[in-house]
Chains A and B, each alone.
Chain A
Amino acid sequence: MTTRRSLDEDEVGKRLLAIFQEVLQVDGAGLDDRIPDLAGNSMSIIKVAVAIEAEFGSEVPLEMFLQTPSARQVAAAVIGAGPSKVTR
């Protein structure tokens, strides 16, 4: 029998950093580093949001990307959104 456990913020955050690296070309960022300001760049926001939905099955509030959140803050939102894939 396989036990599914929820991922914590660090684990989700690391996977988010990979998304940020691919979509936003953010290299070498840590969990608590803020992402670039995406105000006025709504297409980047939807690309990140679509990648998050594909990775975790979670739909996060898009407004948060206008506040230059850290990967850890986005991770909390992903977990808080009741994701279907935030388990392993």
Chain B
Amino acid sequence: MERPDIYIASVGTALPGDPVDNATLVRRFRLPAVWEQWIDAFVGTRSRHFSMDLDTGRTLHTLADLGEAAGRRALDTAGVPVEDIDLVVMASASPDMLMPATVNVIADRLGINGVPTYQLQSGCTGAVQALDVACQMMLSGRHQTVLVIGGDSCAKHLDLGMNLADMSPHMQVNVMLFGDGAGAAVLTTRALADTPVLRRVFTRLQGRGREPGQIVRWYGLADRETPGEPVTEDFKAIENSAPGMAAEALHDLLADLDWKKEELDYILPPQLSGRMTRRVLDHLDVPGAEEISRVEEIGNTVNAIPFFQLEQILPDMVPGERAIGISVEASKWIKAGYAVEKPASKLEVR
């Protein structure tokens, strides 16, 4: 049976509030001023958005708010009525609650009901995993039009009262790396002219025998007394492993598609931090492809990343152009990627 094409009918994104620059971040958390210079030099992120108001400490937006906004934009842009959505898949490392799953709160708000919904607990490769789940279910023939959502929020980890200057480097750096946001895409197997096609989605666990590169804990009544830090990273391991894993993912995708590096028009690299993205790009070695990165401007938005990158290229892709996005997750080490192509002509739209 011929495999149907999966069209990316639209992408929508949402960011909370105004951008927070490094100077504001350092000042709000009462860090020594030299941290601003350090972020510029070693993180490479200029600004990010937070769901929390840094003036008042109040959380102004939930992840469901962001996901709803992104989902609504994607649906509006695609011109797809919610009744046509027959599957919703979401990825997040920071759901508002463990239950109900945020995907179901968002579906309810969007007016989606009576369809399967799934939420993946995931880190930086989560959106790609969600795309993969969506694609596999579409290829089964059971689903035609799917809403895929990815998003994250730092709100639970930002406390204006905490003495960040005396906390561990993990806590300090995390405040500088990440930003809040959500993205969504409408995928469909219904043939759409002049619309990019998701040619392949690829995810691989590479964690056998490896210590986690990132840990995010959650707590209950029984372990609240000695919980450990909520978020920790092995930055050295990430720095050492991420570029190579990204290059492997690119190689595997190209081989699977029988594409060549020289045929790529866009590369959407991992968005760990501005500085790490530069290192990864050196390893990917695709000088002929235009780099699409948002991390310097909005920080590492984790499960929202691919949507922010895709929304940059989808309106500009011309027939025949190809793009590959790559993602690496450090938690238990996952490499992932996806390939997008705008069919060369309407005749190729099957």
A interface residues (Cβ-Cβ under 8 A, vs B): 40, 42-43, 45-46, 49-50, 52-54, 59-63
- Tell me the bound Cα distance from A45 to B42 in angstroms: 10
Least distance between B28 CB and chain A CB atoms (Å): 17
Is B33 on the interface with A (CB-CB < 8 A)? yes
Least distance between B175 CB and chain A CB atoms (Å): 13
Is B161 on the interface with A (CB-CB < 8 A)? no
Least distance between B261 CB and chain A CB atoms (Å): 28
- Tell me the bound Cα distance from A61 to B235 in angstroms: 23
A42 B42 Cβ-Cβ under 8 A: yes
Query: Which of chain B's residues have a CB closer than 8 A to the CB of A63?
Result: 41
- Tell me the bound Cα distance from A25 to B299 in angstroms: 33
Least distance between B177 CB and chain A CB atoms (Å): 13
Is B32 on the interface with A (CB-CB < 8 A)? yes
Interface string of B233-264 (1 = CB under 8 A from A): 00100010000000000000000000000000
Query: Which of chain A's residues have a CB closer than 8 A to the CB of B218?
Result: none
A62 B41 Cβ-Cβ under 8 A: yes
Closest B residue to A61 by CB, please name it: B37
Contact of B37 among A40, A43, A54, A62 (CB under 8 A): A62
A42 B33 Cβ-Cβ under 8 A: no
Query: Which of chain A's residues have a CB closer than 8 A to the CB of B34?
Result: 46, 49-50, 52-53, 59-60, 62
- What are 10 contact pairs spanning A and B, CB under 8 A? A42-B38, A43-B169, A43-B173, A49-B32, A49-B38, A53-B34, A59-B34, A60-B34, A62-B41, A62-B42
Interface string of B1-42 (1 = CB under 8 A from A): 000000000000000000000000000000011110110011
Query: Which of chain A's residues have a CB closer than 8 A to the CB of B42?
Result: 42, 45-46, 62
Query: Which of chain B's residues have a CB closer than 8 A to the CB of A49?
Result: 32, 34, 37-38
Query: Which of chain B's residues have a CB closer than 8 A to the CB of A40?
Result: 239
Query: Which of chain B's residues have a CB closer than 8 A to the CB of A59?
Result: 33-34, 37
Main secondary structure on chain B at its contact with chain A? helix
A62 B38 Cβ-Cβ under 8 A: yes
Closest A residue to B35 by CB, please name it: A46
- Tell me the bound Cα distance from A45 to B165 in angstroms: 15
Category for how many chain B residues contact A: 10 to 19
Least distance between A64 CB and chain B CB atoms (Å): 11
Contact of A50 among B35, B173, B235 (CB under 8 A): B35
Least distance between A37 CB and chain B CB atoms (Å): 15
CB-contacts of B24-71 with A (<8 A): 32-35, 37-38, 41-42
Beyond A50-B35, A63-B41, 6 additional contacts (C-beta under 8 Å) are A43-B169, A45-B38, A46-B34, A49-B34, A50-B34, A62-B42
B41 A53 Cβ-Cβ under 8 A: no
Least distance between A75 CB and chain B CB atoms (Å): 16
CB-contacts of B162-187 with A (<8 A): 165, 169, 173
- Tell me the bound Cα distance from A11 to B35 in angstroms: 25
Closest A residue to B37 by CB, please name it: A62
Most B CB contacts (10 A, CB to CB) among A40, A43, A49, A54 go to: A43
A53 B32 Cβ-Cβ under 8 A: yes
B38 A46 Cβ-Cβ under 8 A: yes
- Tell me the bound Cα distance from A75 to B20 in angstroms: 33
Least distance between B164 CB and chain A CB atoms (Å): 12
